[in-house]
Amino acid sequence: MEVNEHDVIVVGSGPAGATASTLLAQQGHSVLMIERDQHPKFHIGESLLPFSAPIFDRLGVEWKEGQYLPKGGAEFINEAAGYAARFPLALTYQPYQVERSKFDLMMVENAQQHGVVVHQNEAVESVDIDADGVGVTTEKSHYSARYMIDATGRDAMMGRKSRSIERIANLGRFALYTHYKKADSDSAKAMYACGDIKVFLVDIGWIWVIPLVDNRLSIGLVVHDSVKPEKKGEALFEQYLNQSDFLPTLLKGAIKETSVRVEADFSFYNNKRYGERFACCGDASGFLDPIFSSGVLLAVTSAERVADRVDWALKENRETEADLHREDDEDYLLGLNSMLLFVGRFYNNDLVKRLLLEANRNKNVKDDIMGLLGGDLWTGTNTFQEKLLSSRQAQKVVP
C-alpha cells in the first residue's frame, strides 16, 4: 500500500476547487490542488450572486476596491414588447461583477495562503481508487491521498470516466460572447454607476450585458436549443446586437478585446456525483444555462458541503464510505433543480412576460423572485420555489 502523500487531492482550481481546498486546509488537512492550465486564464461567468458571500467570508477573501464592481441588481428587458422588470440584489449581502481571470487567481492565491499546495500546468492522466486510497497520475508525477475531489468544471473528469454525464435538453444550446473595452458611452457609464446586469430577451434566446471595472463590458448571446448549431458565429452575434435599440448606443466607440468566442452544449448533469473516496463539486456535478448566474453560487456551495463532510470523515476515519455525501447531495439537488425549473419556465412558459411583469405589481411575488435570483435556495420559505418544485415540470428534474 502506498503511503498517502496528502490527505486530499483536488483536481481543478476554479471557484469550486479553490473553495474545497481552502476549507480543508483551514482544518489542518494536507491538500494538493492540481490545475491543468496556468492562472490567470480566461473564463466566462462574471456575475456573482449575493448568497455566495458567507462562503467568501469563511474563505477569508478580501474584495479589493477598484478590482471588482459592486453589483446592484438584474434588469430583464423585452424591447420588442416594450416592458422591463428590475430586481435589486444588494440587500442582504453585497455581490460583485468580476473578471474571472482575476477572481479565480485571487481564489487560488488565497488557497495557497491557507496552506494548500498548488501545482499548475500539470494535467491529470489517470485516477485510481481502491479501498486503500487514491492514486493520481499526472504527466509529471504520481500522488496518493486518502480522498479525491473532482472540481474539473465542465470537463467533468469523473463523470466522463464513468459515462454518467447527461445533457439537459430544452435550454440554451450555445453561447456567443466577448468583452468590450473603452466602453465609455453615457449608457455604459450609467451601468457602471448602478452595477446592474441587463438581460435582453430575443426570439432565439437572450443577451447578457455585464459591466466590469475599467470601462469594460461582457456581452453574450445565448441561443435556444431550437436553433441549429451550424448557425453559430460572429454574424449571428452582430445581427442580434444590431437589432437592439439600446446596444448599439451602449457600444458606440467600444472595441472588442477578442473575436467572438463560442461555447456549445453546456447544460448537463452528472448522475454519479460521489462514491468511494471521491466526490464531485461545482460544474463537475452539473452546469445550467447561465441566465440566472447560478454557476459560481452552485460551485462554491457544493464545494463547501463536500469539504465540510470530507473534513468530518477524515477526522473520524470514515472516508471510505461510498454514501458519505448522500445527505449533502440532496441539498445540492434542491438548489440545482430549483434553478433548473426556474430556467425551464423562462424558456418554455414565457416566464418573463407573465411573472416578471406580475412582480412589478405584487411585492410577495417580487420578493420570492429576488430570493431565487440572489441564490437564497435553502431556507424553505420561498413560495414560488415551492410551486416550482411541486409542478408537473418537477418530474423532469435531475435525479
Cβ–Cβ < 8 Å for 297, 48: yes
Cβ–Cβ < 8 Å for 277, 148: yes
**CATH number for 198:** 3.30.9.100
Q: Are residues 277 and 253 in the same domain?
A: no
Q: Are residues 238 and 343 in the same domain?
A: no
Judge whether 152 lies within some domain: yes
Judge whether 120 lies within some domain: yes
Judge whether 87 lies within some domain: no
**Grid coordinates of 90:** 444588494
Cβ–Cβ < 8 Å for 7, 24: yes
State the virtual CA torsion across 116, 119, 120, 121 in degrees, nearest 10: -170
Judge whether 232 lies within some domain: yes
Range of the domain at 33: 6-71+95-166+267-348
**CATH number for 327:** 3.50.50.60
pLDDT digits (tens, 9 = 90+) for 92-111: 999 999 999 999 999 999 99
pLDDT of residue 64: 87
**Is residue 153 classed as helix, strand or coil in its secondary structure?**
helix
Stretches in the chain below the pLDDT threshold 50 = 1-2
| pTM of the full structure | 0.95
Q: Exposed (0-12), middle (13-18) or buried (19+): which is 131, by Cβ within 10 Å?
A: exposed
d(C-alpha 261, C-alpha 249), whole Å:
22
Q: Are residues 67 and 197 in the same domain?
A: no
Q: Are residues 251 and 324 in the same domain?
A: no
Alpha helix (H) ranges present in the chain? Answer: 15-26, 53-59, 100-113, 157-161, 186-194, 234-243, 247-250, 295-316, 326-348, 351, 357-359, 363-374, 383-389
Q: Are residues 240 and 213 in the same domain?
A: yes
In the numeric block, the cell 468583452 is attached to: 179
Q: Are residues 276 and 214 in the same domain?
A: no
Q: Are residues 257 and 297 in the same domain?
A: no
Judge whether 61 lies within some domain: yes
Q: How many CB atoms lie within 10 A of CB 92?
A: 14
d(C-alpha 284, C-alpha 106), whole Å:
21
Long-range contacts of 211-214 (CB under 8 A, 24+ apart): 211/69, 211/97, 212/46, 212/69, 212/97, 212/98, 212/99, 212/179, 213/66, 213/67, 213/68, 213/69, 213/99, 214/181
pLDDT of residue 354: 72
pLDDT of residue 208: 98
As for how many domains the chain has, the answer is 2
Q: Are residues 196 and 308 in the same domain?
A: no
Q: Are residues 292 and 343 in the same domain?
A: yes
Judge whether 205 lies within some domain: yes
| Distance spanning both ends of the chain, measured CA to CA | 36
Q: Are residues 18 and 144 in the same domain?
A: yes
Q: Are residues 37 and 100 in the same domain?
A: yes
| Residue type (1 letter), 238 | E
pLDDT of residue 338: 96
Judge whether 40 lies within some domain: yes
pLDDT digits (tens, 9 = 90+) for 265-285: 679 999 999 999 999 999 999
Q: Are residues 274 and 296 in the same domain?
A: yes
